[in-house]
Amino acid sequence: MPDSQSNRRQFLGQAAKIGSIPLIGTALAAAPFQPTSTPKTAGGKFVIIPTHEHAGDLDERLDFPPEWDVHVQNMAGYKAPVQTAKQLAGQMSQPIGTKTLRELAQGKRRVVVTFDDLTRATPTYAMTPWVVAELEAAGVKPGNILFLSSYGTHRAMTALEIQLKLGKDIANKYAWMNHNAFDCLKEVGTTSFKNKILINQTFMGADLKVCLSGIKVHWDAGYGGGAKAVLPGVAGLPTVEYNHQVILAGNRAQTGPVKIFTNPMRKDMIEAARLAKVDFTVQLLYNQKLKPLRAFSGDIVEAHHAAVRLAAKTYCTPLFEDADIVVANAYPLNAQPSHGASWIGWSVKQGGTGVIIIQHPLGSDPIHYLNNKVAGSRGQTYWDLHPRPPRPGARDSHTIVYSQYMSRMIMDNYAPGTDFCAKWADVVKILRERHKGSDVKVAVYPYAGMQHQEIELDG
């Protein structure tokens, strides 16, 4: 956490000075049952966290007892300036390793543009207006521009979700379709890792292939973005399974967060993107409010490498060690909250308490066809996987899950003995019972789903 008190006050306040506080953006929420305010905790401290990515983008207040020592662990770049549309256009117009998009589009008739789904926080709508403007300026007709979702083996997206990603005007004006990891695939070659590459045949049928991605930490492939738009993005299930199971399982020591340049899993993805002949990419860095910080365009490998070099300096977060309580907000990756929850294992003291926040109407989105296939191939059913056997949390810690959208699907992901709370006041009650005295140290990772430790790049 930064030492300056001014930085600390950006998130940490004194609730005694304020009455009932509106939850910012509540009226914009895309889900029912939203609370409109939260009562103050007399004399207490509070932390404001972002929640509900792509579903209202709310800020929520977390109250803490006044005697507790609360530390907010912000990432290094949390104050980086947000880019305007004009600034982004200037950055996207200076490609790395390729011609400009307008030059590449000259004479092309069929153009495909990929984009990720809502499990990724990328504000794709910040890129799409510039992309279609450049394509049309090159003479490509609007009816020949197709947006293709690149979510790998996740579930298909709805029309509303497409609008949230691309922007409503873009989604309504241009054709879009969902990727299908099971059918309509074309084999384009085999990588040096012996992975047979099956790619969406509509993607391969385009005269110009453009991939739009966001940069976030990835627990296996180093960072998101780049060649992941192809593998797993628009790849077939057998290809994804080989990459995610065979290559990953055989090279665990070389994979992991921030490992990009020597990571076999990532190298396999890059070879797949080369076989698929991607023409142009835009890689976007964004802040804790999902606002654009920097765009890199051009070659799908070179532009991505430039982006992750900046990301490593932007998303890195100092580790608070031996905290009695660790609060990890899964935002903006609520669909896969285990990523954000990793901070609990790194920060909590032996026998402490970890709080996982999953504030999103979709909760832990359970639909992932690769995971389903792997479980099914072992003969496992739902009843074999749930309930999970009792087990202690990280470092024998106790676990509390806080979600306004508590459901059996969320609870099934945690071992018996876990506390589940739909109200923050109930979380605080349990914490008070577990942690007595005035020297309780609390570490809050306010957007843990996108934060990573201060790790050096591998190249």
What pLDDT, in 10s, does the model give residues 62-94?
999 999 999 999 999 999 999 999 999 999 999
Please report where in the chains the tokens 């939850």 appear, as a residue: 23
Q: pLDDT band for position 22 (50/70/90)?
A: very low
Distance separating alpha carbons of residues 255 and 244, to the nearest angstrom: 11
Pairing of strands 111-115, 145-149: parallel
Distance separating alpha carbons of residues 135 and 423, to the nearest angstrom: 48
Least confident window among 29-43, 244-258, 414-428: 29-43
Q: pLDDT band for position 362 (50/70/90)?
A: confident
What pLDDT, in 10s, does the model give residues 129-146?
999 999 999 999 999 999
Which uninterrupted H or E stretch holds 302?
helix 302-314
Distance separating alpha carbons of residues 167 and 173, to the nearest angstrom: 10
Give the tokens for residue 228.
Answer: 């992941």
Q: Where exactly are the structural domains of the chain?
A: 5-76+318-453, 85-314
Q: Residue 411's pLDDT is what?
A: 87
The mean per-residue pLDDT over the stretch 170-176 comes to 98
Least confident window among 37-46, 119-128, 168-177: 37-46
Using CA atoms, how far residue 331 sits from 290, 354, 451, in Å, is 10, 16, 10
Assess whether pLDDT exceeds 60 at residue 40: no
The mean per-residue pLDDT over the stretch 6-28 comes to 43
CATH placement of domain 85-314: 3.40.50.11440
Q: pLDDT band for position 39 (50/70/90)?
A: low
Backbone angles phi, psi at 260, to 5 degrees: -120, -45
Distance separating alpha carbons of residues 415 and 301, to the nearest angstrom: 40
Please name the residue ranges forming H helices in 378-444.
382-385, 408-411, 424-434
pTM (predicted TM-score): 0.90
Domain 5-76+318-453 = CATH 3.90.226: yes
Q: pLDDT band for position 378 (50/70/90)?
A: confident
- Looking at every residue in the chain, the average pLDDT score rounds to 90
- Determine whether 92 is exposed, middle or buried from the number of CB atoms within 10 Å of its CB (0-12, 13-18, 19+): buried
Assess whether pLDDT exceeds 90 at residue 176: yes
What pLDDT, in 10s, does the model give residues 319-337?
999 999 999 999 999 999 9
